[in-house]
């Protein structure tokens, strides 16, 4: 048993979709969240810059005596996971392996689509993870850089004409390829689930990277005897690197609930 908090970070607020899923699996755990809102998006940046930012994010969270860390950012996990993992002794969880496993289980025709930021898709991390599970699976990847802006600006309704037009353009090659399973390989994308499902059609299974990771984290912390002792509701502390103005409104969209708990602006560079 371990009552210390779990640290979670993302480039911005997308990681809150993972926080939501983790609190559903482990409601009693305390969480310290860092969103690097002053430097989001990471997905259009170089590998070196993403590594530098990720190391600073992780070092900030490690200062809280956390028992484990979740990198709730596919971009960081795809290009900088080892850099963070090797720097700490605590379990460091990434958000690529669990959805890759889920997609292999879900796909009937062996054709799996992946959407993510430019850096995530360029890294080939999902292809590697899925091919490691079964070399018979075929992966079709498409970068969707404007999805993060749509999510952060609230353009996420299944009736939003701009969101639907952008999604139709990005997802066309995946529809043409005949994928039957699509991984949302970015923690911002669950906000766009209605838009993505509408374009892909009801027969395509959509996989949420944060949701799959939350289940894996809950099971692994249990195995390591690192869960807290059956508290009913844990606390969440939020840290951001840009102004806290408007945080609650925006964050509540990602959490699908009101933000309770402290929010503070910090400098991590």
What is the total count of residues that contact ligand DGL (CB under 6 A)? Answer: 17
Token representation of residue 255: 């959490």
Q: ∠ at Cα 99 (142, 229), nearest 5°?
A: 145
Provide CB contacts within 8 A for 150, sequence distance 6+.
156, 160, 162, 163, 166, 192, 195
Chain-centroid distance of CA 30 in Å reads 19
Residue ranges of E strands in 117-178: 138-143
When asked if residue 120 is in the footprint of ligand DGL (CB under 6 A), the reply is yes
Peptide bond into 41 cis (omega under 30): yes
151 contacts ligand DGL (rule: CB under 6 A): no
CB of 127 to ligand DGL, least distance (A): 16
Binding range to ligand DGL, per CB under 6 A, among 7-15, 27-35, 121-129, 238-246: 7-15
> Whole-number minimum distance, CB 10 to ligand DGL, in Å?
5
How many whole angstroms separate alpha carbon 269 and alpha carbon 52? Answer: 9
54 with 80: CB under 8 angstroms?
yes
Under the criterion CB under 6 A, does residue 73 sit at the interface with ligand DGL?
Answer: yes
Least CB distance from residue 148 to ligand DGL, whole Å? 5
* Contact in structure between 96 and 75 (CB atoms under 8 Å): no
Q: Is the dihedral of CA 163, 169, 186, 84 positive or negative?
A: negative
Q: What angle do CA 13, 16, 19 make, to 5 degrees?
A: 155
Shorter beta-carbon distance to ligand DGL: residue 54 or 228: 54
Site for ligand DGL (CB under 6 A): which residue of 174, 186, 214, 226? 186
Give the x-and-dash track for 9-48 against ligand DGL (CB under 6 A).
Answer: -xxx-x-------------------------xxxx-----
Nearer to ligand DGL, 23 or 120 (CB): 120
Closest CB 185 distance from ligand DGL, rounded Å: 7
Q: How far is the CB of 186 from ligand DGL (least distance, A)?
A: 4
Residues of this chain that interact with ligand DGL (CB under 6 A) are: 10-12, 14, 40-43, 73-75, 117, 120, 148, 186-188
């Amino acid at each position: 048993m371990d009552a210390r908090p779990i640290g979670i970070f993302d480039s911005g607020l997308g990681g809150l979709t993972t926080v939501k899923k983790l609190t559903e699996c482990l409601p009693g755990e305390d969480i310290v969240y860092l969103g690097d809102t002053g430097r989001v998006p990471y997905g259009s940046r170089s590998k070196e810059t993403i590594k530098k930012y990720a190391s600073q994010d992780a070092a900030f969270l490690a200062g809280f005596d956390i028992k484990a860390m979740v990198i709730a950012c596919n971009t960081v996990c795809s290009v900088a996971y080892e850099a963070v993992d090797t720097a700490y002794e605590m379990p460091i969880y990434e958000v690529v392996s669990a959805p890759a496993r889920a997609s292999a289980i879900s796909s009937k025709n062996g054709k799996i689509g992946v959407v993510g930021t430019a850096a995530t898709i360029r890294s080939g991390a999902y292809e590697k993870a899925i091919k490691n599970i079964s070399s018979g699976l075929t992966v079709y990847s498409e970068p969707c850089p404007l999805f993060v802006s749509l999510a952060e600006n609230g353009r996420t309704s299944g009736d939003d004409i701009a969101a639907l037009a952008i999604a139709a353009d990005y997802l066309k090659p995946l529809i043409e390829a005949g994928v039957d399973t699509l991984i949302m390989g970015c923690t911002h994308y669950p906000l766009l689930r209605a838009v993505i499902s509408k374009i892909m059609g009801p027969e395509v299974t959509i996989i949420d990277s944060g949701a799959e990771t939350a289940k894996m984290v809950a099971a692994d912390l249990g195995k390591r005897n690192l869960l807290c002792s059956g508290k009913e509701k844990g606390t969440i502390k939020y840290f951001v690197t840009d102004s806290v103005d408007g945080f609650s409104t925006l964050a509540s969209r990602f959490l699908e609930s009101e933000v309770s708990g402290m929010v503070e602006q910090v400098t991590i560079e």
